[in-house]
Amino acid sequence: MSGIVDGRVVIVTGAARGIGRGHALEFAKQGAKVVVNDLGAEVDGTGSSGAAAEVVAEIEAMGGEAIVNGEDVSDFDGAERLVRAAVERFGDLHVLVNNAGILRDRMLVNMSAEEWDAVIRVHLRGTFAPLRHAAAYWRGKAKAGEAVDARIINTTSSSGIYGNPGQGNYGAAKAGIAGLTVIAARELERYGVTVNAIAPAALTRMTEGLIPSGANADPDDIAPLVVWLGSAEARGITGRVFNVRAGVISVAEGWHAGPAVDNGGRWDPAALGEVIPALVDKAAPNALTNGQIPGREA
């Protein structure tokens, strides 16, 4: 098989099912060698299964190359072993797709500390740890004078960048991933590494009840954008977050400074009663959960 990522070595975390499975299969179809990483856990992070091996078998059946990796990406040392496994098996690493995640949805007034910590650990730490070790690998190559043309694609969510009630832990982690994406892009550009993120909408085990059954939201439809972002063609794109659902792709425009007023010195709190409401009236309203600005919906 050959395609736009022919010969590139790719790690996909959370690749046993859903969106991650689609990534792994499409990368393989396009010629990449794939490390299929997954604990095989249920949606809440408990239990295990051999689903990752099934994905590898599918890739091998189509003539591709892939290996199973069962490291916990939220474990710092495990993430290092994951990166090392890709390099030792395939000789290099070109693309890291951070996709692994769990859900423990709860309204904030009922959320336990354990439910908060578990989701933050898997999503945010589970993105940082592989990113950190992959970045160190590519930095070492660049410092040694080797050419690097590498990609990191993280997974954020509309819950994080736009907000969704009942997902305070998940949304906070996903907002953190979006911020980490922008920072990492600025830090790693000098080494030949681009860093982008996607905010996908698809019907998977994790979104049952959030996305209506029968909606145009096939998880396999997310992969084409991710594979392109992992290709050599995408070297000029970094620090961006993309919304993607079915055939629709849009650029998520992040926080930026809006209307302002300068008092020339320290404010008297009593004076702000007129100033702040006026500023808010001039500012664009926060986006809806679907990312659209109220009154400007497409």
pLDDT over 70, % of the chain:
91
* CB distance 93 to 87 below 8 Å: yes
pLDDT on residue 290:
86
Instruction: Say whether pLDDT at 163 is over 80.
Output: yes
Residue ranges and CATH numbers for the domains of the chain are 9-252 (3.40.50.720), 260-298 (no CATH)
Per-residue pLDDT tens digits for 180-231:
999 999 999 999 999 999 999 965 445 545 555 555 568 899 999 999 999 9
Per-residue pLDDT tens digits for 119-141:
999 999 999 999 999 999 999 99
Instruction: Say whether pLDDT at 266 is over 70.
Output: yes
Per-residue pLDDT tens digits for 69-99:
999 999 999 999 999 999 999 999 999 999 9
Quote the CA–CA distance of 88 and 82 in Å, as a whole number: 10
Instruction: Say whether pLDDT at 106 is over 70.
Output: yes
Q: Which residues pair with 95 in a beta bridge?
A: 10, 151
pLDDT on residue 224:
96
pLDDT on residue 42:
56
Query: Is 29 labeled as catalytic in the residue annotation?
Result: no
Q: Mean pLDDT in the chain?
A: 92
| Catalytic site residue from 74, 157, 158, 159 | 157
Quote the CA–CA distance of 239 and 42 in Å, as a whole number: 31
Answer with the residue of higher pLDDT: 45 or 113: 113
| Catalytic site residue from 158, 159, 170, 231 | 170
Report, as an integer, the average pLDDT of 227-251. 96
Quote the DSSP letter at residue 124: I
Q: Which two tokens stand for residue 15?
A: 């690749």
Pairing of strands 150-155, 95-97: parallel
pLDDT on residue 47:
44
Instruction: Say whether pLDDT at 5 is over 50.
Output: yes
For the range 205-209, what are the long-range contacts, defined as Cβ-Cβ under 8 Å and sequence gap of 24 or more? Answer: 205/17, 205/18, 205/43, 206/18, 206/43, 206/101, 206/102, 206/103
pLDDT on residue 296:
74
Query: Is 174 labeled as catalytic in the residue annotation?
Result: yes
Query: Is 157 labeled as catalytic in the residue annotation?
Result: yes
Quote the CA–CA distance of 280 and 269 in Å, as a whole number: 17
Which helix (DSSP H) or strand (DSSP E) does residue 33 occupy?
Answer: strand 33-37
Quote the CA–CA distance of 73 and 239 in Å, as a whole number: 22
| Catalytic site residue from 158, 162, 174, 231 | 174
Instruction: Give the CA-trace dihedral at 46, 52, 55, 59, to 10 degrees.
Output: 160
Per-residue pLDDT tens digits for 8-48:
999 999 999 999 999 999 999 999 999 999 987 555 444 45
Instruction: Say whether pLDDT at 103 is over 50.
Output: yes
* CB distance 154 to 176 below 8 Å: no
- Of 107-111, 210-214, 263-267, which gets the smallest average pLDDT? 210-214
* CB distance 197 to 161 below 8 Å: no
